[in-house]
Amino acid sequence: MEFSPLIDRLINDLCCLPGVGPKTAQRMAFFLLERDRDGAKQLANTLLDAVANIKHCKSCRTLTELDICSICSNSRRDKSQLCIVETPTDIRAIEQSTEYKGTYFVLMGHLSPLDGIGPEQLGLSELESRLAHDNTVKEVILATNPTVEGEATAHYIAEMIKPMNITATRLAHGIPMGGELEYIDGGTLSHAFVGRKDYY
């Protein structure tokens, strides 16, 4: 069955969302049109407002409506610790799950030469300049994802800051709480052994 051109356009535009295929987009479109037109209008207005007003924090590069985000402008944060993450959603995960009270720098991705993503696209020259002129940072926590690209990115940053007399640490990767050894993949188990620490 063919839909009207505007409905087709709505379905196609919803497909731009990650994990949303044509069938899911069609369900979303018809739900909004049939049952929640007020919600659709609010969603449209919020999207327009967000696109117009959300930008990158001038300090850490996360997404915010402010020039300097609420974390960077918080005087109670520990400025001696700088956590490097790949995306703004990583900050949210860390803030919700840990007691970390330092600051952040968001790469907006990871090194991927095949996709044309190099150090410049990740703002690494900006990071290098910041660390070279900011004597308050004593530890850089490399919290990139435990993927091949994430590891390569972490290694690049660690090498970059080595001459700066700043400690580089990597988030431990290993066996999750409640996990059983027989179900853990070899790479995770290997990381767990390499990253083992004193029990007492």
> What confidence score (pLDDT) does residue 200 get?
58
Provide, rounded to the nearest whole percent, the portion of the chain with pLDDT above 90: 76
- CA distance linking residue 10 with residue 104, whole number of Å: 37
CATH number attached to the domain at 77-172: 3.40.1360.10
Residue partners of 88: CB distance under 8 A and separation at least 6: 62, 63, 106
> What confidence score (pLDDT) does residue 34 get?
96
Q: pLDDT, tens digit, for every residue of 131-171? A: 998 889 999 999 999 888 999 999 999 999 999 989 999 98
Residue 190 pLDDT exceeds 90: no
Q: What is the mean pLDDT of the chain?
A: 91
- In the chain, where the domains are located: 5-53, 77-172
**CATH topology identical between 5-53 and 77-172:** no
19 is written with which tokens?
């994990």
Residue 118 pLDDT exceeds 70: yes
Residue 199 pLDDT exceeds 60: no
Q: Of 1-10, 24-33, 77-86, 155-164, where does mean pLDDT reach its minimum?
A: 1-10
The architecture of the domain spanning 5-53 is Orthogonal Bundle (1.10)
DSSP the chain: -PPPHHHHHHHHHHTTSTT--HHHHHHHHHHHHHH-HHHHHHHHHHHHHHHHH-EE-TTT--EESSSS-TTTT-TTSEEEEEEEESSHHHHHHHHHH----EEEEE-SS--BGGGTB-TTTTTHHHHHHHHHH-TT--EEEE---SSHHHHHHHHHHHHHHGGGT-EEEE----PPTT--GGGS-HHHHHHHHHT-----
Residue partners of 146: CB distance under 8 A and separation at least 6: 173, 191
Q: Which residue has the higher pLDDT, 182 or 70?
A: 70
Strands 55-56 and 63-64: antiparallel
> What confidence score (pLDDT) does residue 194 get?
76
Q: pLDDT, tens digit, for every residue of 69-117? A: 999 999 999 999 999 999 999 999 999 988 899 999 999 999 999 899 9
